[in-house]
Amino acid sequence: MDMSKKKKIIIPVAIGLGLLMAGFAYLMQIRGEFKDYLSEKYPGQTFQVGFVKIDPIYGSYFTTVSCLDDNVSFPIGKSFRTKNINESYLQTKSHNQYNAYIKEVFNESGIKSHITSVTGGGRDKEHYQNDGHYDQINLYLTEEAELIYITQAALNLLREKGIQADTVILTQEKDGHVYEWYGSTADYDLTEDQLREKIRKIK
């Protein structure tokens, strides 16, 4: 192979490698910005920042961060256009704490065998408040569960534990259909017929 042909091959490869290295270096720079941002905003906390990726659809750089002090994992990103950095450490931590408590309440109850999943979000989105106030609680039931009976039991349990929720949703898939009871903890004293009126067929 003569020199001219070699140059035609080597030059594009060298340019490609150069661009690749420049791109990698820039993403590492963004990663460093994320680290500095977190260190400044949350002094005393230790974070592990993942490798930065590019989201061309939303126009941002993003990655996942783990707080080594409390095992909270959350996303962080930086907009191409505004250059603003956004993350959800406090929101994720608060959500995890609200979730953990409500799961514990039902896991220790007599109806846990009828429940496949429990989630709950608090009214304070950034700081967990151990006051029993929830924005929403979601329960997913087994197909064999009696929806009205479990609804009554769940509302009574929440009342006994001093937990208030603006919205309580119990969802059940049964006989090829999905049913949903939609109400709040204030409905604990409704009759069985009144509770049944709040059931809606989703599909």
CATH number for the domain spanning 21: value is 3.10.450
Q: Which of 87, 114, 143 is the last residue of a domain?
A: 87
Are 68 and 127 found together in one domain? no
Residues 80, 98: one domain? no
Q: What is the pLDDT of residue 203?
A: 86
Q: What distances in angstroms separate CA 2 from CA 6, 7, 38, 103, one per listed residue?
A: 6, 9, 54, 72
Among candidate residues 57, 87, 117, the one where a domain is terminated: 87
Number of structural domains (the chain) is 2
Q: Are residues 190 and 133 in the same domain?
A: yes
* Residue 26: per-residue pLDDT: 85
CATH number for the domain that contains residue 154: 3.30.300
Shared-domain flag, residues 110 and 186: yes
* Average pLDDT over every residue of 155-172: 97
Distance CA 172, CA 120 (A): 17
Residue 93 pLDDT: 95
The residue-averaged pLDDT of 61-69 equals: 97
- Give the pLDDT band (50/70/90) at residue 39: very high
Radius of gyration of the chain (CA): 26
Task: Determine the Cα–Cα distance for residues 159 and 43; give it in Å rounded to an integer.
Answer: 39
Average model confidence (pLDDT) for the chain? 90
Domain that holds residue 106: 91-201
